[in-house]
Amino acid sequence: MNGYNKMDHVSPSGSPPLYTPLQGKTILLGVSGGIAVYKAADYSRKIRALGARVIPVMTMHATEFVSPISFAALTGEKVYTDLFSMERAETIPHIGLARSADILLLLPATANILSKAAHGLADDFLSTLFLAFPGPALFFPSMNSNMYAHPATQANIERLKSFGYRVVGPDTGEMACGDQGKGRLAGWPVVKEAILKAINPQTLDGIKVLISAGPTREYLDPVRYISNRSSGLMGYAMARIALRRGARVTLVSGPVSIPAPPDVEFSPVETAGEMEDAVLRLSQDAQIIVMTAAVADYSPAVRAVQKIKKGVPKLSLDLIQTKDILSQLVKDRKDRQIIVGFCAETQDLRTQALRKIRQKGPDLLIANDVSQSDAGFDVPTNRVLIVSPGGDIESLPLLHKEELAERIWDRISGLLHNLS
Ligand code: CTP
């Protein structure tokens, strides 16, 4: 997906700080036998890159699609396949594994493993491990679309959900058998977010959050516009972390080249006027509003209906100031609403940030110097000041934008806590 790799976590040495949100976690990767086993091999590497220890558990059928040696090489772990081959007589492997792990993934989950799990059958290592595992388990179905649509499979999925398990996907598209339909294993961004949500404490559970992100475009004519270098990375990272903590997130976004996070309510806009309309409308029932967007301050007084022709040697533009959305939100603030602003500067960061928080009145202002090459616009890292209305300033070091978003959400949660 275009742009998504900007947030990837594997980076060569000497490059910006890595973000490893699964550091210290142990993930059991339960692989059952379908064509998507090769994707599970790829995901095992990606999950490991997020900092987790990944222990593969394969059904015998899964080993016919991809050798356990591949999983062992990708995860650096022993691969469990057979309930009865114990290496050490004093430990029962499925019990030991069930105790040691934070989460169990059934990925891919075939119709067969869904059926066995839904009915408590335990006739091999993976299905036995599932029953013995007391923590959260996530199912990622993958199968032929007719098998998925079959009432038996659907009933099994409903039964697993009624036990409290999360079932993620499948996607719709072309499948290995050549059919089009619903049955493809969920893509990596969806899988990643589901794991991170399952691991994260739900500190924003059910809270309604509105986030604006990206640049706006102010049109001169049908083909030309004035804009800025905002990539949307910071606002999208704020949205992903809020979702991982259980918030219901609406994202109003200017044009960017990164995909909307899975499960977000997405409201795409182009101009500052459209952003103003969308944000003010959607702010009515939001408990927390985060204005990350780099809204244009000026817009052409006239938008020509046809393409402006070249001719005169010197052309002047008449620009009109746009409405300041953040100030308006503060003026219209609802009871117990928390409003957070951002601030992009190229000089005098502290002075300008203190001026802006006084002038606009948000509960926090996140200020960054966008003239630095490793911070601000269009890079995966940022270095910010968190400014409070009283003038307190917390200075954060250079961090991956997702880690920064975590720190910012920690501060916002503190404000939320003070309200209750
Ligand atoms: N903002 C807004 N509406 C605008 C302009 C900015 O809501 N028309 C918000 C931004 O989303 C951000 C904050 O105001 O949360 C500060 O934006 P920034 O661009 O740093 O400052 P400006 O107010 O635009 O001032 P200047 O360009 O003079 O620095």
Q: What residues form DSSP beta bridges with 381?
A: 400
- The CA 294 to ligand 1 mean position distance, Å, reads 7
What is the position in ligand 1's atom list of the atom closest to the CA of 329? 7
The three-state secondary structure class of 167 is strand
What is the position in ligand 1's atom list of the atom closest to the CA of 328? 7
Query: Which of the 8 DSSP states describes residue 20?
Result: -
Nearest CA to ligand 1 atom 14: 326
Would you write out the chain's pLDDT as a tens digit for each of its 420 residues? 333 344 444 344 456 678 999 999 999 999 999 999 999 999 999 999 999 999 999 999 999 999 999 999 999 999 999 755 555 555 667 777 888 899 999 999 999 999 999 999 999 999 999 999 999 999 999 999 999 999 999 999 999 999 999 999 899 988 777 778 999 999 999 999 999 999 999 999 999 999 999 999 999 999 999 999 999 999 999 999 999 999 999 999 999 999 999 999 999 999 999 999 999 999 999 999 999 999 999 999 999 999 999 988 999 999 999 999 999 999 999 999 999 999 999 999 999 999 999 999 999 999 999 888 888 787 889 999 999 999 999 999 999 999 999 999 999 999 999 987
- The CA 323 to ligand 1 mean position distance, Å, reads 10
What local confidence, expressed as pLDDT, does residue 92 receive?
Answer: 65
How far is Cα of residue 254 from the mean position of the Cα atoms in its chain?
18
- Of 256, 215, 251, give the one whose Cα is nearest residue 7: 256
- The CA 322 to ligand 1 mean position distance, Å, reads 10
What local confidence, expressed as pLDDT, does residue 12 receive?
Answer: 47
Tokens of 322: 């746009």
What local confidence, expressed as pLDDT, does residue 239 receive?
Answer: 98
- The CA 367 to ligand 1 mean position distance, Å, reads 11
What is the position in ligand 1's atom list of the atom closest to the CA of 327? 7
- The CA 135 to ligand 1 mean position distance, Å, reads 45
Q: Which of 295, 349, 350 to mutate to test the pocket of ligand 1 (most atoms within 8 A of CB)?
A: 295
Q: Which of 218, 238, 291 to mutate to test the pocket of ligand 1 (most atoms within 8 A of CB)?
A: 291
What is the position in ligand 1's atom list of the atom closest to the CA of 297? 8
Ligand 1 interacting residues, C-beta cut-off 6 A = 272, 291, 293-295, 297, 322, 324-326, 341-344, 356
- Of 24, 1, 3, give the one whose Cα is nearest residue 233: 3
What is the position in ligand 1's atom list of the atom closest to the CA of 365? 15
What local confidence, expressed as pLDDT, does residue 1 receive?
Answer: 35
Q: Residues 208-301+317-419: name the CATH superfamily.
A: CoaB-like (3.40.50.10300)
Nearest CA to ligand 1 atom 4: 324
Given the residues 60, 72, 177, 223, the one annotated as active site: 177
What number of H helices and E strands is found in the chain? Answer: 14, 21
Q: Which of 282, 292, 326 to mutate to test the pocket of ligand 1 (most atoms within 8 A of CB)?
A: 326
Concerning whether 177 is annotated as a catalytic residue, the answer is yes
Q: How far apart, in whole angstroms, are the C-alpha atoms of residue 158 and residue 167?
A: 9
- Tell the burial category of 403 from Cβ atoms under 10 Å away from its Cβ (0-12, 13-18, 19+): buried
What local confidence, expressed as pLDDT, does residue 11 receive?
Answer: 46
Domain coordinates in residue numbering, the chain? 26-199, 208-301+317-419
Give the H/E segment covering residue 92.
Answer: none
CATH code that applies to domain 26-199: 3.40.50.1950
Fold match, 26-199 / 208-301+317-419: yes
- Of 21, 4, 3, 13, give the one whose Cα is nearest residue 400: 21
- The CA 284 to ligand 1 mean position distance, Å, reads 21
